[in-house]
A = this chain, B = another copy of it.
Amino acid sequence: MEQVLTVPTAGREPLLTQIDHVAVAVNDLDSAISFYGDTFGTAVAHRERMETDGVEEALIAVAGSYIQLLSPTRGDSPVAKFLERRGEGLHHVGYRVVNCAAALAAVKAGGARLIDEMPRSGSRGTTVAFVHPKGAFGTLIELVQEP
């Protein structure tokens, strides 16, 4: 009798649907905006201050993705500590997902270590959750669900 094997991952929709953003930590947001404008001819599509995270962001659109420039708004924010420890540079990468809660559950089931056990509010009305860089090959990963 023929045995039919089912492979759970076969044909499943990809969890990561797009690179939502590449985040760059900078000391001075306006200087960084000017650099990208002067060098690459880019313009800021969105700017927002997020008090809970202690950051201000400027989003530069590149096709359907963003360059997210991030600067701290207070000395004890995670981005301020990152800048102290490592200096300016790449901070994290955000991947777009269809459903943040479902993606987070799948990522947790896959064995990854989470920063956010539950989805929370991000900028632009997004729903987000962070995956811990420890256990993710040193990369801070954000899951981003569009509004």
Contact = CB atoms under 8 A, between A and B. Distances in A.
Interface string A81-122: 000001111111101000000000011001110000000000
Contact of A40 (B16, B19, B90): B16
A136 interface: yes
A63 B17 contact: yes
Given A39-B107, A40-B107, A89-B138, A62 B12 contact: no
Interface in A40-72: 40-42, 62-65
Nearest to A136: B35
Indicate how many identical chains form the complex.
2
Q: How large is the interface on A (under 10, 10 to 19, 20 to 34, 35 or more residues)?
A: 35 or more
Contacts of A16: 40, 42, 62
B26 A12 contact: no
A18 B62 contact: yes
B138 A88 contact: yes
B24 A62 contact: no
A38 interface: yes
22 contacts: A14-B40, A14-B42, A15-B41, A16-B42, A17-B63, A18-B63, A19-B62, A19-B65, A22-B22, A24-B138, A24-B139, A26-B138, A32-B137, A39-B107, A39-B131, A40-B107, A40-B110, A63-B64, A87-B138, A89-B137, A89-B138, A90-B92
